[in-house]
């Protein structure tokens, strides 16, 4: 569309009576682009990390950014609480890629992380979980993995060559060895 703008010379010069010859005109072309709502082209993924190591969540976003910005407005949350950049948490934005980096993770960093992208056309979010690496295994001497076993007072001493029976289960899972009262073998699932 073409718009015409006319200046009122009487407002500029203080004259009340202005002839048609004093009229000024100016024209400009205005192009309006459609606004596209944000869209995740790559979602966040759950992460397992060793305590003390950095964790990085990555995603890709498309959509019309606000004027002068490379991306739609991006907000990061942990367990629904807005995160702010600090010496422990940093945000990285490169073209249409967004990342959240949690430095030197600890148990307090475990939880659900959310990335929300927003512009005038809409809002979209995706979530992922940060969990400590397998809690049942820890690195022993010389990188040897050691299995951690929780004892709730039901542990039995194993005697090689003698059948072992388990008397306990959980409401979620009862092993066939418990139901059938068959000996527990070396390959029996500890769960």
43 lies in the same domain as 128: yes
| φ/ψ (deg, to 5) at 76 | -115, 140
Residue 187 — very low, low, confident or very high, per pLDDT cuts 50/70/90? low
pLDDT, tens only, 49-90: 888 889 999 999 987 676 667 678 899 999 999 999 999 999
- Contact, 35 vs 119, CB < 8 A? yes
112 lies in the same domain as 172: no
127 lies in the same domain as 162: no
Q: Please indicate whether residue 129 or residue 154 has the higher confidence score (pLDDT).
A: 129
Work out the end-to-end distance of the chain between its first and last CA atoms, rounded to an integer number of angstroms: 70
Considering the entire predicted model, what is its pTM?
0.55
Per the structure block, which two tokens stand in for 159?
């005697």
User: In the chain, how many domains are there?
Assistant: 2
Asked whether residue 191 is domain-assigned, the answer is no
> Which domain covers residue 165, as residue numbers?
156-186
What's the burial of 67, exposed, middle or buried (CB within 10 Å: 0-12/13-18/19+)?
Answer: exposed
Asked whether residue 139 is domain-assigned, the answer is no
**Length of the chain in terms of residues written:** 191
């Amino acid at each position: 569309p073409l718009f015409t703008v006319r200046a009122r010379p009487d407002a500029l010069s203080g004259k009340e009576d202005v002839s048609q010859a004093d009229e000024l005109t100016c024209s400009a072309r205005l192009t309006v682009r459609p606004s596209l709502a944000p869209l995740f082209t790559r979602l966040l993924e759950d992460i397992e990390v060793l305590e003390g190591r950095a964790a990085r969540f990555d995603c890709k976003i498309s959509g019309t950014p606000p004027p002068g910005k490379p991306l739609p407005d991006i907000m990061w949350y942990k367990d629904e609480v807005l995160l702010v950049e600090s010496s422990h948490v940093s945000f990285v934005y490169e073209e249409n890629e967004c990342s959240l980096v949690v430095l030197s993770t600890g148990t307090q960093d475990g939880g659900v992380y959310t990335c929300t992208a927003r512009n005038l056309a809409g809002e979209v979010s995706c979530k992922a979980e940060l969990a400590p690496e397998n809690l049942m295994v820890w690195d022993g001497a010389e990188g040897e993995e050691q299995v951690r076993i929780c004892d709730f007072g039901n542990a039995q001493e194993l005697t090689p060559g003698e059948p072992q029976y388990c008397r306990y289960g959980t409401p979620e899972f009862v092993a066939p060895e418990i139901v059938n009262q068959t000996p527990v073998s070396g390959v029996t699932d500890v769960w």
